[in-house]
Homo-oligomer: A and B are copies of this chain.
Amino acid sequence: MEEQTITNVADASAWVNPMVGTTRMGHTYPGATAPHGMVQLSPQTHYEPYLRADDTYNPATYEYCAGYQYEDTTILGFAHTSFSGTGHSDLGDILIMPTTERPDLTSDSDGGPLFGSGFDHAREAAKPGHYAVYLDRYDIQADLSATERVGIHRYRFESGGHAHIALDLAYNIYHHPDKNVWTFLRVENDSTVVGYRQTTGWGRTRLVHFAMRFDRPLKDYGYVQGQKLDYNGFYRRFQEHQGFPEMAGRDLRAWFDFGTVEAGDQLGIRVALSGVSMDGALKNLQSEAPYSGFDSYRQAARAQWNEALSRVEIDPLREADRTTFYTALYHSMLSPIIYEDVDGRYRGLDQNIHTSENFTNYTIFSLWDTYRALHPWINLTQPNRAADLINSMLAHADESVHGMLPIWSHYANENWCMIGYHAVSVLADGVAHDIPGWDRNQGLETAVRTARVPYFDGLDLYMKYGYMPDDSSHSAVSKTLEYAYDDWCIGQLAKSTGDLVIAAEFDRRSAAYREVWDASSGFMRPRLSSGQFREEFDPMETHGQGFIEGNAWNYGLYVPHAQDSLIAWHGGPDLFIAHLDSLFTMKLDDAYFAHTEDISRDGIIGNYVHGNEPGHHIAYLYNFAGAPEKTQERVRMICETMYGPDTDGLCGNDDAGQMSAWYLFSSLGFYPVAPGSGMYDLGSPTVRSARIAVGQGQTLIIKTRGNEVGKSRVKLVRWNDQVLNGWQIAAAELVQGGTLIFEFE
């Protein structure tokens, strides 16, 4: 066995490029944040109303899910919240822009504010916990950092000027005139401002409170209202638009004047967030960022990232993959985010204030995406955080009027996005990884309750027919397949608690996938409530054919808990392998992409779609049909072609870390095809060796023999010197730590 050198990871942040995914459809943001931090302080480069003047959807907003696109040349300001990699958006709270003159707070014809500045990538830099850019219009060097709950700003006025801050509470990612519900500001003293804003959007009733501290005294301040309300009560005794310390309205934009500054003078600002209240934000500020100064916060953020990133150490076959890998690792730590104040108080889904007992509360659960690999990754490598995530989901269910686990939740809201109830997969996978610190019986109870809510997304019909009838849903097959898998997870969970009655019920339900298999076409196919398959059916088509965000070719292969059936129905291993080969190699013409919305050649290999989640397990399916070499080859190809170290390094939405988590696993040589099964499926690592902190202080070593670029074929795999029989290894083994050795042919 070759001895390999693992590069020192003391400053792994240096290998991260937060710009990865900021072009094409990565939907990542380059701004400053702490690992899983509540604050994501990031530049906003565009203003697009969500609806056009004729009230139709404006597709240009889509690419601004995270507020930033690398192609843009203007920065509107720096907002404090952002999703990472999602396919729909919200947030963009508390936009701040420094200026050297009284900012123009009025709007242009698109409704965007007029104080934006040009910038140049040559004078822009993004690293974990630090974003820097030069604002050409104002000659201001902007540096941003963050603690978990506080955004740290430093603005250096290179040419001096009349220092101002624009604070735009009207700005929203996915802007719409109706989106702001209320905004509120109080100038507590000449260096402290608190406030909140309330929006309706993806999160229907969303509140973000903040507390802001300047390290220069305010000279004056004032505001304008984007949308003025006719009714303002009886009378106002004050000229409130300037110098009056209380401001409220639907769409406040405020200015803060710090007087004339000399060239090189700096303005520091610390902005704490809270989901609870303004005094909660103030407490967060005082706890995490009590002192002015920028560099110590930046250094602390870097150190925090280095600690987090150093938990994995790799020796990649290709040096460029180091950045790809550590950026993926970075992206895997941006969601979910901490969602509680330093005192443990948080706003629950019921809009009441709760205190987390024995856990840390998190939000942003993009579960249709992240149950596949991101949660298994956290379960394997960060069991304490995994327990927090599970307990956060259980608290969500407690607070839910439906008694349901989260579907897609953020900031004390359930936005119901996508299909399935995949939190149950996270619970089952938590059992598989033996995550401590949560109540499995409570988990089972809430999982069962979730899976029985009759009015949720056709569950009544699914339970009645044993599949989702196509005449009641546009994505009936996808739902049937996902529900079936989720039900199998509940069965797993029930077995772990010894509840064999529930296990039997949900094992029965988990066979629903059988009901939508159409032997005549050889595809999973939309089936009507009459029992007949739908006549019209195009397995190439992504929309309206019983699937959502995937076609029958891709999504129809989604039976993670019963691959054997799939292989049998396709006529046995050889025909199944041929089917997979067709998927990866078929040639699609431009006409196909032209008429298929949301699908571009980015992220496609043949007809295999890597840029979206339903197919993420497919490359590993060859293993089950006895062709591991094809899994190895495909996985390697996907790693090499679908990921990269530059701005265009993501082939599709990162989806809150799922796309990146796929890469983390696959480049290390294994992947969870069926989370909750307790088994990982082996691929072909792109590293020579690796060290991964797993479980409770254990170390998993990956080693390879004969691994080279261009050589994907693994001869055998050893676990602690025992040759593995088959192409799986148990999660229960991996979390104990040990050495996994891939021997290449």
A residues with a Cβ closer than 8 A to B are: 50-51, 55, 88, 90, 176-179, 181-182, 184, 186-188, 196, 198, 200-205, 229-238, 243-246, 248-250, 277-279, 350-353, 401-402, 415-417, 455-457
- Check A51/B231 contact, CB under 8 A, given A181-B182, A182-B181: yes
- Per assembly, the copies of the chain total 2
Write the nearest CB–CB distance from A73 to chain B, whole angstroms.
Answer: 28
Inside 8 A of A201's CB, which chain B residues have their CB?
231, 233
Given contacts A238-B416, A277-B352, A353-B353, 18 further A-B contacts (CB under 8 A): A51-B230, A55-B230, A177-B231, A178-B229, A178-B230, A181-B181, A181-B198, A182-B198, A186-B401, A200-B231, A200-B248, A200-B249, A202-B234, A204-B233, A235-B416, A236-B416, A244-B455, A279-B352
Interface pair B277/A178, CB less than 8 Å apart: no
Question: Which of A177, A233, A234 has the most chain B CB atoms inside 10 A of its CB?
Answer: A233
Q: List 18 A-B contacts (CB under 8 A).
A: A55-B230, A88-B234, A90-B233, A176-B231, A178-B229, A179-B231, A181-B181, A181-B182, A182-B182, A182-B198, A198-B198, A200-B229, A200-B248, A201-B231, A234-B415, A237-B416, A244-B455, A278-B351
CB-CB under 8 A from A90, the residues of chain B are 233
Structural contact, A457 and B237, CB atoms closer than 8 A: yes
Q: In the assembly, what is the distance between CA of A456 and CA of B238, in Å?
A: 7
Asked if residues B415 and A233 are in contact (CB atoms below 8 Å), the reply is: yes
Residues of B contacting A277 with CB < 8 Å? 351-353
Q: Which residues of chain B are within 8 angstroms of A236 by Cβ–Cβ distance?
A: 416
Interchain nearest-CB distance for A222 vs B (Å): 13
What B residues does A179 contact at CB under 8 A? 231
List the B side residues contacting A278 at CB < 8 Å. Answer: 350-352
| Residues in B whose Cβ lies below 8 Å from that of A248 | 200, 204-205
Q: Which residues of B contact A233 (CB under 8 A)?
A: 90, 200-204, 415
Which residue of chain B lies nearest to A408 when distances are taken between CB atoms in the complex? B234
Shortest Cβ gap from A405 to chain B (Å): 15
Give the chain B neighbours of A456 by CB distance below 8 A: 237
Q: Which residue of B lies closest to A49 (CB)?
A: B231
Considering the complex, give the chain B residue whose CB is closest to the CB of A89.
Answer: B234
Q: Check A182–B202 contact: CB distance below 8 A.
A: no
Taken together as a complex, chains A and B put the C-alpha atoms of A298 and B198 apart, in Å, by 40
Assess A350 versus B186: contact at CB under 8 Å? Given A230-B176, A243-B455, A402-B245: yes
For residue A187, which residue of chain B has the nearest CB? Answer: B401
Distance A179 CA – B608 CA, assembled complex (angstroms):
53
> Could you tell me the distance between the alpha carbons of A233 and B414 in the complex, rounded to whole angstroms?
11
Q: How far is the CA of A648 from the CA of B244 in the complex (A)?
A: 42
> Which residue in chain B gives the minimum CB-CB distance to A202?
B233
Measured between alpha carbons, how far is A246 from B186 in the docked complex, in Å?
Answer: 32
CA–CA, A176 and B234, complex, Å: 12
The 5 closest A-B pairs by CB, nearest first: A176-B231, A178-B229, A202-B233, A279-B352, A237-B416
Q: A184 touches which one: B249, B351, B415 (CB < 8 A)?
A: B351
In the bound complex, CA of A568 to CA of B186 (Å): 48
Is there contact, CB below 8 Å, between A235 and B417?
yes
Q: Which residues of B contact A203 (CB under 8 A)?
A: 233
- Which chain B residues lie closer than 8 Å to A249 at the CB level? 200
A55 to B243, CA, bound (A): 29
Q: How far is the CA of A90 from the CA of B249 in the complex (A)?
A: 17
Across-interface contacts of A182 in B (CB, < 8 A)? 181-182, 198, 200, 205
With a CB–CB cut-off of 8 A, which chain B residues contact A176? Answer: 230-231
What residue of chain B has the Cβ atom nearest to residue A189's Cβ?
B401
Closest CB in chain B relative to A456 CB, distance in Å? 8
Nearest CB in chain B to that of A203: its residue:
B233
**Which residues of chain B have C-beta atoms less than 8 A from A186's C-beta?**
350, 401
What is the CA–CA distance of A395 and B279 in the complex, to the nearest angstrom? 16
In the complex, how many angstroms separate the beta carbon of A295 from the nearest chain B beta carbon? 32
Residue of B nearest to A227 (CB): B178
Which B residues are CB-close (under 8 A) to A230?
A: 51, 55, 176-178
Most buried by B among A231, A352, A402: A231
How far, in whole Å, are A309 and B250 apart by their CA atoms in the complex? Answer: 45
Once the chains are docked, how many angstroms separate the CA of A456 from the CA of B243?
12
CB-nearest residue of chain B to A277: B352
A416 to B246, CA, bound (A): 13
Residues of the B chain whose Cβ atoms lie less than 8 Å from the Cβ of A50: 231
A638 to chain B, nearest CB (A): 29
Closest B residue to A90 by CB, please name it.
Answer: B233
Name A204's closest neighbour in chain B (CB-CB). Answer: B248
Q: Please indicate the chain B residues that have their CB under 8 angstroms from the CB of A350 in the complex.
A: 186, 278-279
Residues of chain B within 8 A of A353, CB atoms compared? 277, 353
Q: In the complex, what's the smallest C-beta–C-beta distance from A459 to chain B, in angstroms?
A: 11
Find the B residue at minimum CB distance from A243.
Answer: B455
What's the minimum C-beta distance from A386 to chain B, rounded to whole angstroms? 28
- Nearest chain-B residue to A175 (Cβ)? B231
How far is B181's CA from A234's CA once the two chains are assembled, in angstroms?
17
Q: Is the CB of A238 within 8 A of B455?
A: yes
Which residues from chain B contact A202 at a C-beta distance below 8 Å?
233-234
Shortest CB–CB separation between residue A193 and chain B, in angstroms? Answer: 10
Question: Across the two chains, which residue of chain B brings its CB closest to A196?
Answer: B351
